[in-house]
Structure 1
Amino acid sequence: MPRKAPSAVVRSRATPYLFILPAFVVYAAFSLYPLVRAAQFSLYEWPGFGPSTFVGLQNYTDLIGDEAFRAAIGNALGLILFYSGLPLVIGLVLAAVLRRGQVRGMGFFRTVVFLPQVIALVVVAVAWRNIYSPNGPLNQALRAVGLDELARGWLGDPGAALPAVGLIGTWLQMGLVMLLLLAGMSRIPNDLFEAARLDGAGPLREFFAITLPSVRGEIVVSLVLTIIAALKTFDLIYMTTSGGPGNATTVPSYEVYFRAFELREVGSASAVAIVLTVLVFAINVAVTRIGERGEQAR
């Protein structure tokens, strides 16, 4: 069998990289370069125009004692419960019920459930802001059933504002998570469920023994997507509460905007952005590693 010429071997090895290169150039131009520039800005004290002063890591050390920044990180971590935890639990239950019951009109139901994902978040925020208003539908419904003491200005109450915004995130992410899990459950062979039923397994045992282990990959993907959405949320906060009342609903993305465009502290804003990037990366790497270990343990 004739050997390939050295030049042909080199070309064959280089071909995959030639296909990847254009995509990498676009990725580098629109993602890596802005990230590097943000890291550079974080080392300076700069109002966004005119001369800048190199301060090293001072912007990062200032964040340690910054109450607004600590509140933003705490609120973002709290939103993970609403954006990831609740949608995952609800999505698992709904997907398992739909998979087991074979509901008619499944295509229409999937479209309706997924609809929040395709609506502009500004529209979603305005609609929910009206729902949560003191004379909005939610308070009117509470008063109609005699629960007047629960009625309040939800987005203006320091104790209720973050959960109120978080529930909007639950509504947004629930459909996406459910569809991902339904796609995973549709790949499970029916023979496994039939064998389990012949052995006397009930719905709960089927769920924990067959369904849950089979959609581990989809669960990891759902968590990664929803955690990213929770940590980088901005437009929803901006349009509903603007971080208020006080620091009750401020999040890192909103802090970046507020420091850069309101306070004219571009260096501090860039430092917050870099910390947020590292936080998103670290949490999602941890989630992915846990998922991979679970797959290896099966």
Structure 2
Amino acid sequence: MKRPASRTARRRSRSWRDYRGYLYVLPAFAVYLAFAVLPALHTAYLSLFEWDGVTLGSWVGLANYREVFTDPALRGSVVNALVLVVFFSFLPILAGLVMTGLLALPRSRSGAGQGRRRGMSGYRLLFMLPQVVPLVAVGVTWRWLYGEDGLINETLGGVGLGGWARAWLGDFDWALVAVGLVGTWVLSGLCMMLFLSGVQKIDPQLYEAARLDGAGPVREFVSVTLPQLRGELAVALTVTTVAALASFDIVYVTTGGGPGEETTVPGLLVYRLAFSAGKVGLASALGVLLSLLILVIVYVVNRLSRPERSEP
């Protein structure tokens, strides 16, 4: 028995509607494929060759990857990047939470009125300013601040702590810390903005219930605000960790990887190997491993940030 023509037409129309949405994302997908996926696959292909970028390359298989794991300079750059995660990720998140707790305090304690701290727009502009300024300009500014006659050493001398003054970016013990603190300054405002946006979505009744139980401002923040910011914390941790592992601009402008190799990071080393040393294959292998490390960290963060499903 034949199906009615109208039913067949409806089915075809429904099938067309199901797939029509893909047409809208097709241009963006084509751009992403051309400028992200294909270059990444080509980089992975180049990592299997010994190539100087000019002459014909020779197949070496996984030799470049073995060199990444055995060469002390290459392994040291990855270690430096992991150290920067503390300054680019953990410290900005902690600072962002503290600033959010202080700025959102009147809101959480104001009950149904949901008051707002005066000058909030000014605070947001001030803390988000590092995100607007190009990182090259940030690096140049902090290089002057860290200089031997810079503002930091002048301030230390003015308060009687001249013995602490030093060429911070040229000190083997403090150079990596100094660069990391620049990242802390840059990313703290971003974390604060993410958390403030999350606070605005929290149900005020949760704060009222906490106050009825006798919770103070600190207990409110720990018991109510912090759990409700789980998604924003995951986003902040992902963005800042990627910024730490893929850092290049600030390090290149402030120290250039020195003194010695104390502040050399994978992003800077990939640049040196590919464009200065003529080791494109080795640079590609390091880039591939760095990308895989970032993907693993992002996956773990996303898995841990998923809300737990309650058993039926």
TM-score, normalised by the number of residues in structure 2: 0.92
One-letter amino acid of the structure 1 residue matched with residue 126 of structure 2 = V
Shift of residue 295, structure 1, vs aligned partner = 4.4
Residues 51/180 of structure 1: CA separation in 2 closer, same or farther (3 Å cut) = same
1:254 matched residue in structure 2? 268
Matches within 5 A, 1:78-93: 78-93=83-98
Residues 297/174 of structure 1: CA separation in 2 closer, same or farther (3 Å cut) = farther
1:52 matched residue in structure 2? 57
* Equivalent in 79, 101, 124 of residue 74 of structure 1: 79
Shift of residue 4, structure 1, vs aligned partner = 4.6
| 1:227 to 2:232 alignment | no
| 1:196 to 2:196 alignment | no
SS in 1 for 2:7: coil
2:7 matched residue in structure 1? 3
Matches within 5 A, 1:11-26: 11-26=16-31
Contact 1:43 1:55 in 2 (8 A): yes
One-letter amino acid of the structure 2 residue matched with residue 27 of structure 1 = Y
Contact 1:83 1:169 in 2 (8 A): yes
| 1:40 to 2:51 alignment | no
| 1:125 to 2:163 alignment | no
Deviations for 1:55-102, whole angstroms, at most 9, x for unmatched residues?
111100111111111111101011111111011111111101111134
SS in 2 for 1:3: helix
CA distance in 2, matches of 1:285, 1:130: 38
CA distance in 1, matches of 2:141, 2:175: 16
Q: Is the deviation greater in 128-137 or in 105-114?
A: 105-114
Shift of residue 187, structure 1, vs aligned partner = 1.1
Aligned length: 297
Contact 1:216 1:295 in 2 (8 A): no
1:98 matched residue in structure 2? 103
* Equivalent in 256, 273, 277 of residue 287 of structure 2: 273
CA distance in 2, matches of 1:238, 1:159: 18
Q: Is the deviation greater in 140-149 or in 274-283?
A: 140-149
RMSD between superposed Cα atoms in Å: 1.5
Shift of residue 297, structure 1, vs aligned partner = 6.6
Shift of residue 39, structure 1, vs aligned partner = 0.5
Matches within 5 A, 1:137-216: 137-216=151-230
Shift of residue 189, structure 1, vs aligned partner = 2.1
One-letter amino acid of the structure 1 residue matched with residue 165 of structure 2 = A
Contact 1:133 1:154 in 2 (8 A): yes
